[in-house]
Amino acid sequence: MHKLYQIEEQAYFIYFIAVLLVILGFIAVQLWKKKKQKEFANLNLLDKLSPEKSTFKPILKIIMIVIALSLLIIALANPKMGTKLETVKAEGVDVVFALDVSKSMLAEDIAPSRLAKSKQIITKIINNLGSDRVGIIIYAGSAFPLLPITTDQAAAKMFLQNASPDMVSSQGTAINEALNLALTYFDDEEQTNRYLILISDGEDHNETNENIAEAAAKEGIKVYTIGVGTKKGGPIPIKSNNQLIAYKKDRKGEVVITKLHDDILKKLASEGNGKYLLGNNTQNTVEYISDLLKKADKKEFETKNFSDYKDQFQWFIGFGILFLLFDILMFERKTKWIQKLNLFNEKDK
């Protein structure tokens, strides 16, 4: 994803609160004036006493003030426009995250939950990446490509936050599905360093075939697995509007306890020429993976980015001042030629 524009000082957008206050102040003054006018005299009588006074002009003037202030605030933020699309050579590795989003990942034996902990780990790893490319797969009973391999790490983090069990129709945990999808996910056959990082509680409802991880290793894909959860385990909460309503039960009506099954994850990492990590300690896990990727041999690839960003604030200042001049030069009495056209009900009633 190539950004055509940049906002240099986004902090100035907070001044839009002042614009909102101007609008609310105008509405409050108008309501107060109406109330006082009714107390003073009949409104029809007031219209006859001031026949040239327009009811529309004050609204038009406040609209112009609001537009002018908004344009000046945008000018303060200094928007910049990219004027040239150039090809930039970068070096990096390809990293694909396979995230388990099955219902068991909602268990809270690891705070705040296994799924939230997994997202936290992936996000922090992405934050430590250089110019590496990243992709995301989610899986439960089936695997789903959430984000293809890209250099846009901000997009990766955004897509990751939306990952949930609701995004995969079939529930369960089919690690095989994620591994098979990962084999087709890497789009650069010349990339010598390709990493698949699979994050799960290891609770697989299908028979996992370690040979798939071995096949991935033969294609130069190193499989690292991260386990989240505890051996003691915990129940699977069922929530509505973030409020706990029950725990998942089996057919006998007993509460289901889901536990960490690291034996499967260890076998996959061993066959995939990688390593198994217990992800309950976020910092240790992130540091290990980040250090691993930093030390890996980087492959040069090309990416296109907008460059030569030029300031565009002057346009917003110009139009902002123009709207202020319109507001200053506009009087609140009725305009004769508009009155003849009877637009905005400007004619005397």
Q: Of all residues in the chain, what percent are helix, strand and coil, respectively (each to 5)?
A: 45, 25, 30
Q: Do 280 and 117 meet the contact criterion of CB atoms below 8 Å apart?
A: yes
pLDDT along the chain (349 residues), means of 10: 71 91 91 76 58 71 92 89 66 91 93 95 94 91 88 90 85 80 78 87 72 85 95 92 89 92 92 94 95 86 63 88 86 54 50
Rounded Cα gap, residues 213 and 176, in angstroms:
9
Q: Is 249 left (phi over 0), alpha (psi -120 to 50) or beta?
A: beta
Tell me the three state secondary structure of residue 231. coil
Domains and CATH numbers, the chain: 5-78+312-345 (no CATH), 89-303 (3.40.50.410)
- pLDDT the model gives residue 78: 86
Rounded Cα gap, residues 123 and 129, in angstroms:
10
Secondary element (H or E) of residue 276: strand 276-278
How many other CB atoms are there within 10 angstroms of residue 126's CB atom?
20
pTM of whole model > 0.75? Answer: no
How many other CB atoms are there within 10 angstroms of residue 347's CB atom?
12
- pLDDT the model gives residue 349: 45
- pLDDT the model gives residue 305: 59
- pLDDT the model gives residue 337: 45
- pLDDT the model gives residue 130: 83
- What backbone phi and psi angles, to 5 degrees, belong to 101? -120, 25
